[in-house]
Copies of this chain bind each other. A is one copy, B any other.
Amino acid sequence: MKAYTEMSRTELEASHSRLISEYEALKAKGLKLDMSRGKPGLDQLDLSMDMMSVLDSSSSLKSEEGIDCRNYGELTGIGEAKRLLAEMMEVEPDEIIIYGNSSLNVMFDTVARSYIHGVMGNTPWCRLDKVKFLCPVPGYDRHFAITEAFGIEMINIPMTASGPDMDMVEKYVNSDPAVKGIWCVPKYSNPQGITYSDETVLRFAALKPAAPDFRIYWDNAYCVHHLYEDDQDVLVEILDACKKAGNPDMVYKFSSTSKISFPGSGIAAIAASKANIKEIAALLSVQTIGHDKLNQLRHVRFFKNLDGIRAHMMKHAELIRPKFKIVLDTLESGLGGLGIGSWYNPKGGYFVSFDSMDGCAKKIVRLAAEAGVKMTGAGATYPYGKDPRDSNIRIAPTYPSTEELAEAMKVFVVCVKLASVEKLLEK
C-alpha cells in the first residue's frame, strides 16, 4: 500500500472521498462503544468471584498473629497481607504499609503529606514558592491530575523505548532543588507498555538530587500484568538498587490488586525504606485507625502467595490477549505502511499507545466520538491535557467485548486515515 505521505494531491483527494463514504456508513450504524478507560472486562471480574466466598459467617477472622480482623487496629496492615504484597512488590514485609482499595489514593495522600507536613523534616511544600514534578510523557492522566491539584508545576520528559529520557531526568533532578518528584509507571507503562531498561533503573537509583526531599513516585501498577506466559518483561527492583547506590530513602513504590482481583475492592500498598515507612505510619496514625483488614484477609486467603497471584494473572492474560491482538492486527492491517501513525506492541499492561501525524489526535478522537466510539480524550496522556504535538491517543482494549472492539477499531482506523488525509490536504 502506498504511504499517504507519498501520494499526490489527486490521489489524496480520491482517498478522501472514499474515506468520507466509509466514515458516513460507519456513523450511520449508530454505534455506542467505549475504549476510553483501563477497566477490566466482565469476564475478567468473573475470575475472582470465588473470592466472595472465601470468608463466610463461619470463618475464623483472625490473622495468623491472632489479630481479630473485625475490630479496630493494625494501622499498617495484618502480617500475611504485608507478606503477600511485599512478595509481589519485591520488598520486605517491614518495608510496606497496606492501605484501602486505591493506590491512586495512596499516591494522593503521599503528595498531600509532603505538601502539608514536608518530607523528613524538610519544609512543607505548601510553604515553598515553587514545587516541580517531572512527568514522563505520554503518561497517566490521573497522576497529572494529582500534581495539578496541588499547583505543582509539571515538566514533560519524553519517553523512549527504554524509559524516560534519563539525560533530561538527571539534568533536572540533580540541579533544581524545586524538583521534588517524578511520576513513573516503570513496567508496561501507561499508555505505551514500555518497561524501563536495567540501565534506566540504575540511573534512577544513582540520581544525586538537588532537593533532599526528592522522591521517585514508582507506580508499579502493572507489575504482574503480563500478556504472555513465556515472553515477559523484567524490571530491576528499584528499592534495592537505591539502597546499593546510597539513596535508600529516594523511592516510594505503589501498587495494588485493583486489576488483579476487583478494581473497586482490592487492597493497595506503599513500599519504601524503613525510615520512610516509619515517617508515613506516624502521620497515618492521625489520619485513620486502620484500613479494612477483612478485605486484606480475603485477599490472602484467596491468592495465598505470589504463585497464586501469578497463576491468576495468566487467566487474565488469556482473556485480554485476544483483545490486544485485535487492536494490533487492525492497526497493522489498516494503517501499516501508510506513514500516518505508529504504535508500540506491549507485552503487558492495559493499553496500546497510538501516535498519529502531528496535529491529528484531537480530530481523530472527535471523529470517533461522532461515530459512536469513545476514546480517552486526546491530550489526556500529557500534563494539563496538552499534548504539544497533538498526536498521542491511548487505546484501552480490555473493557469492550471482542466483537465491540473489532467494530470500534475499524472505526478508529477510518478516523485516523480521514484526519490524516485532511491534514495532508491542508498543506
Contact = CB atoms under 8 A, between A and B. Distances in A.
A180 to B, nearest CB: 16
A72 B68 CA distance: 29
A44 to B, nearest CB: 9
Contacts of A40: 71
Interface stretch (A209-217, A287-295, A317-325, A351-359): A287-295
B295 A263 contact: no
A28 interface: no
A26 B405 CA distance: 75
Interface string A92-129: 00000000111011001000100111000000101100
Contact of A116 (B50, B115, B127): B115
Interface residues of A, number: 58
Interface in A276-320: 283, 286-295
A278 to B, nearest CB: 16
A292 B100 contact: yes
Contacts of A1: none
A42 B66 CA distance: 13
A333 interface: no
Contact of A49 (B48, B57, B283): B57
Contacts of A295: 265, 292, 295
A101 B291 contact: yes
A426 interface: no
A150 B126 CA distance: 12
B116 A292 contact: no
A394 to B, nearest CB: 16
A56 interface: yes
A27 interface: no
A159 interface: no
Nearest to A148: B286
B42 A53 contact: no
A264 B71 contact: yes
Interface in A27-59: 37, 39-40, 42, 45, 48-53, 55-59
A58 B50 CA distance: 8
A293 B290 CA distance: 18
A424 interface: no
Contacts of A292: 100-101, 264-265, 292, 295
A300 to B, nearest CB: 15
A265 B286 contact: no
A286 B108 contact: yes
Contacts of A53: 56-57
Given A40-B71, A61-B52, A264 B293 contact: yes
**A61, A74, A264, most chain B CB atoms within 10 A:** A264
A52 B45 contact: no
B287 A108 contact: yes
A286 B149 contact: yes
Nearest to A399: B71
B73 A264 contact: yes
Contacts of A124: 126
A60 to B, nearest CB: 11
A377 B88 CA distance: 40
A72 B116 contact: no
Contacts of A39: 71-73
A104 B71 contact: no
5 contacts: A39-B73, A52-B55, A104-B288, A112-B112, A115-B116
Given A39-B73, A56-B56, A70-B264, 5 more contacts: A71-B262, A102-B288, A104-B289, A264-B290, A265-B292
